[in-house]
Chain A
Amino acid sequence: MRLAVTELLRRPGRFVLAGVVLTLISLLLMLLGGLLDGLIASSTGAYRAQPGDLISYSSRSENSLVRSRITASDRSVVSQTPGVQAVGGLGSIQLGARPGDDPKSRDPFATVLFGYELAPRGLPATPPAQGSVYADDVLAGDGVAVGDTLLLGPQRSPVKVRGFVTDTRYAGQASLWGSLATWRAVTTENRPGQTPGDTVQALIVETGASPPATVAQTIDEATDGRTTTLTVTRATQELPGVAQQTATFNQIIGVTVLVALVVVALFFALITVERTAQYGLLKAIGASGFTLFGGLIAQAIAVTLVAAAIGVGAAVVFAAVLPPGAIPFQATPARLAGNVGLMLLASVFGCAFSLRRVLRIDPASAIGS
């Protein structure tokens, strides 16, 4: 092992090509992973911030918040279902928001106004008074400040920003969080045909100690199938575009890891061929094939770790310098560690292609050559 490390330190030029290619792959992998996480985060923040365990939609909505309507009577049934600890209504409307001092702005912020009863993470337990909202902090990056008034939709419905909340975006748009009364008033003004009345779009359900999956089934039975109740996690995964984005990015990431594996396999196969005489000599003086192969893996891991470290560093810096909301990019420790793990796996499996070649080198080749 020390022999392999010594070679790496004394002949770094030999590994530069593989290092550069692996670094580029690492940068691509970290960028793809960061974009995927950023996109998913910007699509799902509003759901991930919910305090409950379950979300109930109307069954005809096909689990779409926009299409869902829960009546007051169904809400009452859900509230009384065994295992349900608390229920809160949730409503949403997607509208452009203009600064209060620029009502004719041609470049409104894309926002989603949520009306809530059970406070999502970071919001006060009691929703703000009608006409007031908390805004996702991505809007702060757009210049919105506490105390500003935003004008929503074609009717320029005014809402005053009381404060900011983090990581609550929905469908890539900044969220605004107010009371159900605010949501109803803004919706009635801007979408006269969709006046909510006493309905909400979905119910957030807290189950306490009861198993959420069991309670979900009980709720849907109690409403005679007029509701479809999902865990928040599953509802998050079923948000429009989330599964498709995840699958697409994961396929690209998979191909990238495969390319890393092929690069390591080809490079170290070439190095093994170049070292045939050296390996023959070392075997002749008592090195086993597995000792030599262990050295090869150690070198592959070292080169990969350097490449991965550069990728991680670049991802962290990239995430830090990006203005909020500019590009959906997140450098989470789990993603970065996962990518490093994938690259290490690729390097070990890539090296495995050279195992047979290393083991087959004849120590007798050192003599008589």
Chain B
Amino acid sequence: MTSSSSTATATGERRDQASPPALEMQDARKVYEVAGEDVVALDQATLSVAAGEIIALVGPSGSGKTTLCSIAGGLLSATSGSVVVGGQDITGFSARQLTEFRRTSVGFVFQSVNLVPFLTARENLLVVDELAGRAGRKGDAAARADQLLDELGLTARAGNLPGQLSGGQSQRVAIGRALMNEPDLVLFDEPTSALDSTLGDQVVKLIRDEMKARGTAAIIVTHDDRITHYADRTVHIEDGRVDA
């Protein structure tokens, strides 16, 4: 019998070591067919992310960062290999199962097209609960959304549409939305690329604080070396190969 225990991480936050790893990717390979030829986007990638761990995924353009994130988040299926997220083996999931998985088990913060433009900041958080339907709802979504907006310093902006928010505020709303379904893993796709350095720094700090406070793991895809300082670990990827 395994007893639950907690240890301090390098950055001082506490995470539950009895929890399954947030991500176990084993020999994942993704091959696309382009003009009749196979193009390997991800080549035997093996990566483990512990619960509550923050990984900075760094690599040049076309190195396979986005493909790795897409497979980890259930946006794509690997051609071969296995992917386990929060104890769920999603390797053989159907499209329908992957949709359900994305809705319940992972969060995304994208580089652009992040928010639904005709919904307020608060509604952008609640849309996750809306998509879950009556059966899939988790507790009091409205209260959770309000709490997240408060933690993210957006209470005063809750009723604003995305067009009335600054870039940094929009990213904070997107972070809140990614946390609405209490995911095991949040994937950030270059979250600071559209922000100036000061704002980018604030957003990354916020990501770190929110993830650590919840014990939620995160993979941050970035070109920005400054982000790596806030991550527990930096993983390099090049030509589809992960150098963990």
A residues neighboring B (CB under 8 Å):
2-3, 6-7, 10-11, 277-278, 280-288, 291, 362-364, 366-369
Q: Are B113 and A278 in contact (CB under 8 A)?
A: yes
Complex contacts, B195 vs chain A, CB 8 Å = none
Chain A residue nearest to B100 (CB atoms) is A286
Cβ of B177 < 8 Å from any Cβ of A? Answer: yes
Residue of B nearest to A280 (CB): B113
Which of B2-10, B84-92, B117-125, B235-243 is the interface stretch? B117-125
- Are A281 and B113 neighbours in the complex by a CB distance under 8 Å? yes
Interface size on B, residues (CB 8 A): 32
Contact check, B66 vs A3: say whether CB atoms are below 8 A apart: no
CA distance A284 to B186 in the complex (A): 12
Query: Which residues of chain B have a CB within 8 Å of any CB of chain A?
Result: 66, 69-70, 73, 75-76, 96, 99-100, 102-104, 108, 110-114, 116-119, 123, 127-128, 130-132, 177, 181, 187, 189
Within the complex, the shortest CB–CB distance from B205 to chain A, in Å, comes to: 23
Pair B66/A367 contact, Cβ less than 8 Å: yes
15 contacts between A and B (CB under 8 A): A3-B116, A3-B119, A3-B130, A10-B118, A278-B113, A278-B116, A281-B110, A281-B116, A285-B102, A287-B131, A362-B75, A364-B70, A366-B110, A367-B108, A368-B189
A135 to B107, CA, bound (A): 78
Scoring B128, B131, B132 by chain A CB atoms within 10 A of each residue's CB, the highest score goes to: B131
**B136 — nearest CB in chain A belongs to which residue?**
A286
Given A6-B119, A286-B100, A286-B132, also A364-B76 (CB < 8 A): yes
A-B interface contact total, Cβ < 8 Å: 80
Contacting B127 at CB < 8 Å: which of A11, A285, A363, A366?
A285
Q: How far is the CA of A200 from the CA of B104 in the complex (A)?
A: 83
Which residues of the other chain, A, contact B181 by a CB distance below 8 angstroms?
A: 286
Given the interface pairs A284-B75, A285-B103, A286-B99, the reply to whether A366 lies near B113 with Cβ below 8 Å is yes
Q: Complex: how many Å from CA A283 to CA B73?
A: 12
Task: Assess the A368–B99 pair: CB atoms within 8 A.
Answer: no
B73 x A367 contact (CB < 8 A): yes
Known: A6-B118, A288-B96. 17 other contacts (CB 8 A): A3-B119, A3-B127, A6-B123, A278-B117, A281-B113, A284-B73, A284-B102, A285-B102, A285-B131, A286-B132, A288-B99, A363-B75, A366-B108, A366-B110, A368-B66, A368-B70, A368-B189
**Ranked 3 nearest A-B pairs via Cβ:** A286-B103, A368-B66, A364-B75
Taking CB atoms, residues of chain A closer than 8 Å to B103 are: 285-287
Chain B proximity of A291: nearest CB distance (Å): 7
Which residue of the partner chain A has the closest CB to B180? A285
Looking across the interface, which residue of chain B has its beta carbon closest to that of A367?
B189
Question: Are B102 and A363 neighbours in the complex by a CB distance under 8 Å?
Answer: yes
Residues on B with beta carbons closer than 8 Å to the beta carbon of A363? 75, 99, 102
Chain A binding surface SS class: helix
Q: Which residue of A lies closest to B114 (CB)?
A: A281
- The answer to whether A285 and B117 touch (CB under 8 A), given A367-B70, A367-B75, is no
Shortest beta-carbon distance from A201 to chain B in Å = 68
Q: What's the Cα separation between A2 and B116 when bound, in Å?
A: 13
Assembly CA distance A6 to B126 (angstroms):
13
Shortest CB distance A335–B (Å): 37
- Tell me the smallest distance from the CB of B127 to a CB of chain A, in Å: 7
For the complex, give the distance between the alpha carbons of A363 and B96 in Å. Answer: 12
Would you call A367 and B131 a contact (CB within 8 A)? Answer: no
The residue on B at minimum CB distance from A291 is: B131
Q: Are A369 and B99 closer than 8 Å at their CB atoms? A: no
Complex: A11 Cα to B118 Cα, angstroms:
7
A285 touches B108 (CB 8 A): yes
Query: Which residue of chain A has its CB nearest to the CB of B128?
Result: A285
Chain A residues with CB under 8 A of B76? 364
Known contacts A3-B127, A6-B119, A367-B66; A286 and B102 CB within 8 A of each other: yes
Of residues B66, B69, B113, B181, which shows the largest number of chain A Cβ atoms within 10 Å of its Cβ? B113
Q: Is the CB of A284 within 8 A of B131?
A: no
Q: Say how far B223's CB is from chain A's closest CB, in angstroms.
A: 12
A369 touches which one: B100, B113, B132, B177 (CB < 8 A)? B113
> Smallest CB–CB gap between A289 and chain B, Å?
8
Task: Write the chain B residue with the least CB distance to A288.
Answer: B99
Q: Which residues of B contact A369 (CB under 8 A)?
A: 110-113
The distance in angstroms between the C-alpha atoms of A285 and B103, with both chains bound, is 6
Contacts of B127 in A (CB 8 A): 3, 282, 285
Q: Are B108 and A284 in contact (CB under 8 A)?
A: yes
Residue contact A286 to B104, C-beta cutoff 8 Å: yes
* Given A278-B116, A367-B73; A284-B110 close (CB under 8 Å): yes
Taking a contact as CB atoms under 8 Å apart, the answer to whether A367 and B69 are in contact is yes
A357 CB → nearest B CB, Å = 16
In the assembled complex, how far is the CB of residue A245 from the closest CB belonging to chain B, in whole angstroms? 48
What separation, in Å, do the CA atoms of A350 and B182 have in the docked complex? 39
Bound state CA distance, A38 and B173, in angstroms? 59
User: What's the minimum C-beta distance from B116 to chain A, rounded to whole angstroms?
Assistant: 7
Residue of B nearest to A2 (CB): B130
B62 to chain A, nearest CB (A): 10
Q: Smallest CB–CB gap between B31 and chain A, Å?
A: 15
> How far, in whole Å, are A260 and B153 apart by their CA atoms in the complex?
48
Q: Which of B75, B116, B118, B189 contacts A282 (CB 8 A)?
A: B116
Q: Are A367 and B110 in contact (CB under 8 A)?
A: yes
Distance (Å) between the CB of B206 and the closest chain A CB?
20
**Chain A CB within 10 Å — which of B75, B104, B187 has the most?**
B75
Residues of A contacting B187 with CB < 8 Å? Answer: 367
Alpha-carbon gap, A270 to B131, bound state (A): 24
CB distance from A124 to the nearest CB of B (A): 64
Which of A7, A283, A363 counts the most chain B CB atoms within 10 A? A363
